[in-house]
Structure 1
């Protein structure tokens, strides 16, 4: 049983070939050591599925097939802190799900503490789920949310503890990677990063008409930019899952757009490699939220399609210039193309989000505002 005694167990959408969630593993694993001086931490995922992180991450203790559900239960029962870390993980509390399981364990073992850092609360799947989430939060020991809208919600339900108004964990990646801006080598060709996804296709009852419109906007935007752009388009596969990932859509968009000078950056388990490849771009155009978050904090100009409330929350909180907002693909294509090409031709024309430094400080609150005994 000693294999399963752990100071902290982290839960999120880990080990699913998704770069955005890989970033939460990177930051969570670094943060517990840097801020809390804790090294005894595990992530609920198979070790081979976890990303390659600066500080090696630990998953399930034993690599034995068909035992992972049992190992999950043993880890929950034997940990001191169970923490949901990163992402939109509080849209509901499914009966019999992991949240349910952890709370039942807490009721049996009063010593376990349940918390969350860098999460969004909502949007809710139903009014019932909203009530269940509110009730669940009251049983937790601490919550740190990544956007103002979530903070307004947790503040409205009279918790016995003080919730923390923080920010997305990925804003701390520059500290981990010791990332600093560097001058671009002369005569290096310009690079436009692109990251797209079919979000509506892989959620229940997704708005497929909106997805078709978004993809058409991206397609027309690339076609228009390509007429006046002599550099390379760099397409990022942020989600490498064979069923719900980005590759098929990305290849379709490339083929339909007619761009010839392009490269495809496949999903990479090494998050730092993806970060560095984005940092080389002159501009990022994305539907994937974390492609824009990476770009933002790597000091790369970015344009984000607001396909989800979390995208809008991010842009609002970081202080993104209204003049650059694509909204949900609502800006005129030629206007968007003109703004992007203006930045390509004159990088000094770009006005970065005004709250970036403040958001890095708020991201640190995920760790500095919470005490782990």
Structure 2
């Protein structure tokens, strides 16, 4: 038997990709799909697994003891199997707690990577120290935006960060559509804790403004179905409020559409107005005009990174002026989507060679 050829065919690394997977959130499931689709680029000659459910699992996502046990079990299996633990996607480095903290304590020589993460803002001094402790184990660090690099300068760490942009920029599933509709897609977020009456007024006034020149339909899209971040009730309330104003509105959800159809809905729309970061990111990468509600630092940091600060609105700010500027083409990001993708390909491919 030619053992040398057999050795060449055998993967030399075993990577567990970890994140907020299995909770029914569009952005996190898009991270999983990106990791699976581009594993060969991110980790050449490796086997990659998550050990999390492929979609939303009520048991796995539960905040009760059995959900915590399921997540701890997945972490334990991953630690036993993997030689590399890779935190992939999301704003996970505001603090290190829960399963992530237990995993960190149980590391036994595994290589640790953090890819496509936002760093900070930290939830207090203790959180900054815990992030600093985590970074002491990290061998490879690719962050989502320059603001994360600035926050890292507050910490003592030895890993040099690379700005790669959001991980989903690698994913060919996210791309412009050849045909566009007259539909405005609105993506509310339960995590933003918006007042429904104010949200209805912001969205309704913006629709009325852009409809002065050209009529549009509206689709309200629920992008998350996890626990306290379940967008469904907020979306239903907003759709009802807009309908009461005489606006033609439909309801849709990622849970029903799945990844591909949700990406197509966003990419084929006339505009996207989103409180969810990945509603805006998918629109941007699909060359669709977008407005993003900056209720979290990661939203504002994304806008600053691509030169689209004027497209980021505060939680209580009117939407109509920005919507009108998007409709007439006055607002465009300074960094085009192709440049954003090129930066991501270069950053993630170069880092994989480390």
- Does the alignment reach a TM-score above 0.5? yes
Deviation at 1:326, TM superposition (A): 2.6
Greater mean deviation of Cα atoms: 238-247 or 298-307: 238-247
1:335 to 321, 333, 336: 321
Q: How does 1:143-154 map to 2 (within 5 A)?
A: 143-154=141-152
Give the Å deviation of 1:179. Answer: 3.3
- Contact kept, 8 Å, 2:164 with 2:344, in 1: the verdict is yes
Q: Deviations over 1:273-330 (max 9, x none)?
A: 21111111011111111101110001101111111111100001011163x4434342
Q: CA deviation at 1:172?
A: 2.2
Q: 2:248 is matched with which residue: 244, 247, 261?
A: 261
2-structure distance, mates of 1:42, 1:294? 24
Q: Does structure 1 retain, via aligned residues, the 8 Å contact 2:267–2:288?
A: yes
Partners of 1:259 and 1:34 lie apart in 2 by 49
1:210-359 matched pairs, under 5 angstroms:
213=198, 216-222=201-207, 224-225=209-210, 229-241=214-226, 243-257=228-242, 258-268=245-255, 270-320=258-308, 322=310, 324-331=311-318, 333-340=319-326, 342-343=327-328, 349-356=329-336, 357-359=338-340
TM-score normalised according to structure 2 size: 0.82
Correspondent of 2:173 among 177, 197, 218: 177
Counterpart for residue 100 of structure 1: 101
Q: Map 1:42-81 to 2 at 5 A.
A: 42-47=49-54, 49=56, 69-81=72-84
Q: Return the alpha-carbon distance in structure 2 between the equivalents of residues 363 and 158 of structure 1.
A: 26
Q: Which has the higher mean CA deviation after the structures are superposed, 124-133 or 67-76?
A: 67-76
Q: What CA RMSD, in Å, does the superposition of the two structures yield over aligned residues?
A: 2.9
SS of equivalent residue, structure 2 residue 104: helix
Structure 1 segment 137-216 matched on structure 2, within 5 A: 137-173=135-171, 176-177=172-173, 179-184=175-180, 190-201=182-193, 213=198, 216=201
C-alpha separation in 1, matches of 2:322 and 2:74: 50
Counterpart for residue 39 of structure 2: 32
Provide the rounded CA distance (Å) in 2 between the counterparts of 1:267 and 1:71: 25
CA-to-partner distance for each residue in 1:210-258, whole Å, 9 max, x for gaps? x875564334434555566523101111112365311211111122222
1:14–1:294 CA distance, 2 compared to 1 (3 A): same
CA distance in 1, matches of 2:24, 2:298: 20
> Would you say how many aligned residue pairs link Structure 1 and Structure 2?
329
Aligned twin of 1:58: none
Please list the CA deviations of residues 52-88 of structure 1 after superposition, one character each: whole Å capped at 9, or x if unmatched: xxxxxxxxxxxxxx76633431321221110110001
How far the C-alpha of 1:128 sits from its partner, in A, is 1.1
Task: Work out whether residues 169 and 344 of structure 2, in 8 Å CA contact, stay in contact via their aligned partners in 1.
Answer: yes
Identify if the C-alpha distance between structure 1 residues 180 and 93 changes in structure 2 by more than 3 Å, giving closer, same or farther.
closer
What's 1:14 paired with? 21
Displacement over 6 Å in runs of 4+: none
- Offset at residue 19 of structure 1 (A): 0.6
Report if aligned partners of 2:272, 2:280 keep a CA contact under 8 Å in 1. yes
Change (3 A) 1:227 1:371: closer
Please give the secondary structure, in 2, of the residue aligned with 1:270. Answer: helix
